[in-house]
With several copies, the nearest count.
Chain A
Amino acid sequence: MELKFILESLLFSAQKPLSLKDIRDALSGAPEHAEGNETVAAFKKAKDEELNAALEDLSRDHEGAARSYRLTCVAGAWQFVTQPDYAPWLKALVGVRARPPRLSQPALETLAIIAYRQPLTRAEVEQIRGVAVDGTMQTLTERGLAETVGRAETVGRPQLYGTTALFLEYFGLRSLADMPAADELRRIVVERPTAPVTADPGLATVAPDVLQEIVIQPEAKPADHPLAQAAELEVNPGK
């Protein structure tokens, strides 16, 4: 049993590119599935240099074999890929993904509101946009840009929406804090009340009714303020 063939079988069956760590984990986990098998135990603690050497060796093997696929290493992760020449057939096989239509203006606006104010309810989005957003909300969740992240602690416990990791990816953002001009935009909004509202700026969770309330009761105390409550929700801290 050669190390490179073990690695080959792993890379062959993996659904995603494998990092050295993934490979190490598989090697160290294997003896559990083959009790008393000394060969399996022997590879338990293969060193990174050995792994790298075996992977390079394997890569050369497949390069030399000049088949329709080869082993590649991208950003430290190894994967079997097919040669580009065969793309027309693979496209026909998997059916090329239809280009998702670009986001419409209503969808963009809705998404922007969710992004800067999350988490918030649909009713709150509607209040800001001034129109019903059922359709656009559905579009956004279907496209994986927004998702439900919990329920509000208010009457009827409506669902709260937030943006997804795909949202960040789609717009090329590192984090929500990285959103362009977010601070200015947030500041503009929260500057409205005469009494300063303090809230975690990172959350940008200004509820629409907050705006109204600010207008009607400009003297509301920060602690009683819905914004402060909303900021404490932290329903989806992992995101």
Chain B
Amino acid sequence: MSQYNVKFEVFEGPLDLLLYLIKKEEVDIYEVNLTVLASQFIDYVDTMRLLDLEIAGEFLVMAATLMLIKSRELLPVEQRPEQIEEEDGEDPRWELIRQLVQYKKFKDAAAQLQLLEAARENTFPRQPGRVEFEPETAPPRISASIFDLLNAVNAVLKRIGQREASTREIFEDKWSVSEKIEELLNKLAREPRLKFSDLFQQATSRPEVICTFLALLELIRLKQLVCQQGEVFGEIEIKPAPAPIHGGEPHDRAWLNAPAESAPTPTS
């Protein structure tokens, strides 16, 4: 029983069933023998009825129309009510064909849409990653920013030290920035390149680290030193800045407590 049910459900409506029957006959809609078509259709509806299947109203209406066409076709030619056209303004045969042709048109269009639907499913848009442009003045990505960070650390530590100094030991100011500047320049005179991490190797206390660091920052500020990072994750190297075209400011030299002629010379 369910087998038949499935079979009948395939048809979307009476027009669909008619198109199916026409297709089965392998004839054009315009060439179809309406009398035969009507018989086949009514047979189907009768089968449905016999199987006690629920028959949609549309099928019954169509069956009635087809019965009318069939009965008329069965009359001898001279007895057919040709004038029915003028009276009703409609010939049920052509009305049916018109409906079928129209329905077929949309069924075909639906099939086209289905193809488009499937194609669309398999069409992938180009969705490139966002194009990124480096801002005109890029935020420093290399050495400088790391100093910022370190500077911040030291600032914090210094503050803690001050906060706790009152309850603990007295802060012994053993190092000064200027001493460290001197030390740094001396080191650089011996070695043209210093590793950043080596600078703090010998430091024994927080104040010393801070002083060394501040000395480094000061020398960078005074353009005596440059820090370079060969690659993104590379070791930071410290080396003397290239000599200014017209020599250094005497004031700077004096401050550095170093004779002008022994000032670091550029090495590359």
Contacts and interface: CB of A to CB of B under 8 A. Distances in A.
B and A form one assembly: yes
A15 interface: yes
A112 B203 CA distance: 20
Interface string B74-86: 0000000000010
A112 B109 contact: yes
A208 B97 CA distance: 11
Given A105-B152, A112-B152, A131 B102 contact: no
Interface string B98-125: 1101111111111111101111111111
Contacts of B122: 84-85, 87
Interface stretch (B36-44, B131-139, B178-186, B217-225): B131-139
A131 B129 contact: no
Contacts of A205: 102
A14 to B, nearest CB: 8
Given A170-B145, A180-B109, A185-B108, A109 B209 contact: no
Contact of A90 (B101, B131, B206): B131
A188 B157 contact: yes
Contacts of A173: 116, 146, 233
A172 B143 CA distance: 8
A31 interface: no
B254 interface: no
Interface in B142-158: 142-143, 145-146, 148-153, 155-157
A123 B156 CA distance: 16
A130 B131 contact: no
Interface of B is mostly: helix
Interface stretch (A51-59, A75-83, A150-158): A75-83
Contacts of B31: 191
B103 A129 contact: yes
Contacts of A21: none
B205 interface: yes
A84 B14 CA distance: 36
B58 A131 contact: yes
B28 A191 contact: yes
Interface stretch (B46-54, B87-95, B242-250): B87-95
23 contacts: A80-B128, A81-B125, A87-B133, A90-B131, A94-B131, A94-B133, A98-B135, A102-B114, A108-B110, A109-B155, A112-B106, A112-B149, A115-B109, A128-B102, A130-B16, A131-B56, A172-B119, A180-B109, A180-B112, A188-B206, A191-B28, A199-B90, A207-B102
Interface of A: 9, 12-17, 69, 72, 79-87, 90-91, 93-94, 96-100, 102-103, 105-106, 108-109, 111-113, 115-116, 128-132, 170-174, 178-182, 184-185, 188-191, 193, 195, 197-200, 205, 207-208, 210-211, 214-215, 227
